[in-house]
Amino acid sequence: MKRLQRCHDIGDLRTVAQSRIPRAVFDFMDGAAEDEVSMQGNRSSFAQYDLLPEVLTDVSNVNMTTTVMGQTIPFPLILAPTGLSRLFHHQGEKAVATAAARAGLIYSLSSGSSVSIEEIGALTDGPKWFQIYVWKDRALVSEFISRARAANYQALCLTVDVQVYGNRQRDLYNGMTTPIRLSRKLAFDLASHPRWWFNLITKGQPQLANVKDKMGDNITDLNSQAAYINRQFDRSVTWDDASWMIREWGGPFAIKGILSPADALRAVEIGANGIVVSNHGGRQLDQAAAPVDVLPAIVDAVEGRADIVVDGGIRRGTDIIKALALGAKACMTGRPYLYGLAAGGEAGVSRALDIFSDEVERDMSLLGVTRTADIGPRHLRHKNDAPRYPSNY
Ligand SMILES: Cc1cc2nc3c(=O)[nH]c(=O)nc-3n(C[C@H](O)[C@H](O)[C@H](O)COP(=O)(O)O)c2cc1C
């Protein structure tokens, strides 16, 4: 707990996480595709905007609530789907779901989770989305939809940027592949974190919990499950499949991984109520645009017909405020809560969420706004649009 209390920002949690888990596992969480240009761009694009505060406004009561696809949340943050969380801490998705529910925030459970749809559904009353793909086996997709409905998930979130798996080179060098390549280097790395190793062995090995029963009783290892999932990714998926899923689900439906106004419009036309502007945290197509750079054009195209959420590189309350000023209803966050998870289980996830909430509250006060709906373009200026003065000014 002391260690967590000394974490004053997401970067501090990242530093603690790095010390608590093997390097290969940390890299699997922290890394991105190829040259990691998109991941770095996700951060640097936020820095291209200046905030323009308004002073002498009464900010005694700051209300951070926002509503996304009909769900009101206490501040504009959603926990993004991330697979295999039990690799980072033995409490895995249970810790994340519990911390999210305590904060009243939406948790999007990944299809590749290490705790099942049903277990997370029964664990908390907190708002939940289920993240889904269009698998090759459409019967499996229908089964996942029925399971999510039966377990009371409020919305589906279809991820559309994993036609194939991104080229994550840190994982290739570390042997974090399917199957895992257990080199001497990797064995030494894993063994040098005995507490993590001990918990992994004694508290049940990570599994792809939603598909673990698909391969017969005698196949329980992660490698076989991951190979099964990899075989399910379907390169032939089109808008017709997404449209079919929206009809099958019949409720709030978001499409995650959109980066162009044309695709956003198409999503609205087939009936999506939510659009997650995302490049998968830079983990899929490297050099893909930073979500914050394409956000304004997408907001203009959609004209309020769907709620827009943005993710990738959100590390500060000011990033969230900038995204809202550009027209997003909320942001999603992935690695930041995973840093918290690796740093200290459920308490670490709560610490990450508290840091974000405190920052948004403080930053809204300093910006001079009391409601998220009042944050707008007048609070933002792109550095390229800033007046330039001669050097002797
Ligand atoms: C370890 C890890 C696993 C992820 N797994 C999934 C997943 O299963 N499904 C998905 O749609 N996105 C997945 N993502 C992407 C996140 O949902 C999100 O788009 C991304 O993390 C946002 O960037 P950020 O980490 O900078 O916040 C994963 C991200 C990470 C870091």
Per-residue pLDDT tens for 283-338?
999 999 999 999 999 999 999 999 999 999 999 999 999 999 999 999 999 999 99
The amino acid that residue 324 corresponds to is L
Q: What is the pLDDT of residues 52-70, one digit of tens each?
A: 999 999 999 999 999 999 9
pLDDT for residue 387 is more than 80: no
Per-position b or e across 20-38, b if 16+ CB within 10 A of its CB: bbbbbbbbbbbbbbeebbb
User: Would you say the CB of residue 82 lies under 6 angstroms from ligand 1?
Assistant: yes
Residue 145 contacts residue 248 (beta carbons within 8 Å): yes
Tokens of 166: 């991104």
List phi, psi (to 5°) of 284: -110, -95
- Smallest CA-to-CA distance from 176 within 30, 368, 389, 359 is with 30
Q: How far does the centroid of ligand 1 lie from the alpha carbon of residue 130, in Å?
A: 13
| Shortest-distance Cα residue to atom 3 of ligand 1 | 82
What per-residue confidence (pLDDT) applies to 296?
97
Domains (range + CATH), the chain: 2-384 (3.20.20.70)
**DSSP state for residue 209 in the 8-state scheme:** T
pTM > 0.75: yes
User: Would you say the CB of residue 350 lies under 6 angstroms from ligand 1?
Assistant: no
Q: Chain-centre distance of CA 81, in angstroms?
A: 5
Categorize the per-residue pLDDT at 16 as very low, low, confident or very high, splitting at 50, 70 and 90.
Answer: very high
Q: What is the pLDDT of residues 226-271, one digit of tens each?
A: 888 888 888 999 999 999 999 999 999 999 999 999 999 999 999 9
What per-residue confidence (pLDDT) applies to 219?
67
> Which residues are catalytic, by number?
280
* Angle at alpha carbon of residue 262, lines to 256 and 267, rounded to 5°: 45
Pocket test for ligand 1, best of 27, 82, 210, 278 (most atoms within 8 A of CB): 82
Ligand 1, atom nearest to 81 Cα: 17
Q: Give every CB contact of residue 53 below 8 A, 6+ residues apart in sequence.
A: 366, 367, 368, 379
